[in-house]
């Protein structure tokens, strides 16, 4: 996916409170925000891998380990990195916080104000 340099890409799950709060902060650092609902829009393993490289994180670092689906389907298994990417593709609702990408920087927004670090 080609990214416009002045556009902030906001990967989130709209139903989450932290996602709504973080989006409000996003408007203070970017005029153009491309909201991507990770539950409705399929993100490929290649796209996830690109984001993970910018975040300097592993796929499993994005997942909410307290979520009941994580506990029942994923916890306790020994997965390789390819499997973790596939878990992200198939279970995007397990992402623990929104991800913001601006230019070549990305951040996992654990708190709403984390997005300001992109500015």
Segment 75-116, tens digit of pLDDT? 999 899 999 999 999 999 999 999 999 988 999 999 999 999
Q: What is the mean pLDDT of residues 20-38?
A: 93
Contact indicator for 88, 13 with CB cutoff of 8 Å: no
The encoded tokens of residue 65 equal 């380990």
Alpha helices (H) along the chain: 17-26, 45-55, 68-73, 81-90
The encoded tokens of residue 97 equal 């916080």
Q: What is the mean pLDDT of residues 4-19?
A: 84
The pLDDT value given to residue 1: 53
Query: Is the overall model pTM greater than 0.85, yes or no?
Result: yes
Segment 34-47, tens digit of pLDDT? 999 999 999 999 99
Beta bridge partners of 32: 7
CATH number at 8-118:
3.40.30.10
Contact indicator for 52, 89 with CB cutoff of 8 Å: no
Q: Tell me if residue 58 falls in helix, strand or coil.
A: coil
């Amino acid at each position: 996916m080609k990214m416009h340099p002045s556009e902030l890409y906001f990967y989130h799950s709209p139903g989450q409170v932290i996602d709504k709060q973080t989006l409000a902060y996003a408007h203070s650092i970017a005029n153009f925000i491309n909201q991507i609902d990770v539950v409705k829009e399929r993100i490929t393993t290649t796209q996830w891998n690109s984001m993970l490289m910018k975040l300097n994180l592993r796929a499993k670092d994005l997942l909410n380990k307290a979520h009941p689906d994580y506990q029942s389907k994923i916890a306790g298994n020994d997965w390789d990195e390819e499997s973790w990417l596939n878990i992200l593709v198939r279970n995007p609702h397990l992402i623990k916080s929104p991800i913001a990408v601006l230019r070549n920087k990305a951040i996992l927004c654990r708190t709403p104000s984390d997005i300001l670090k992109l500015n």
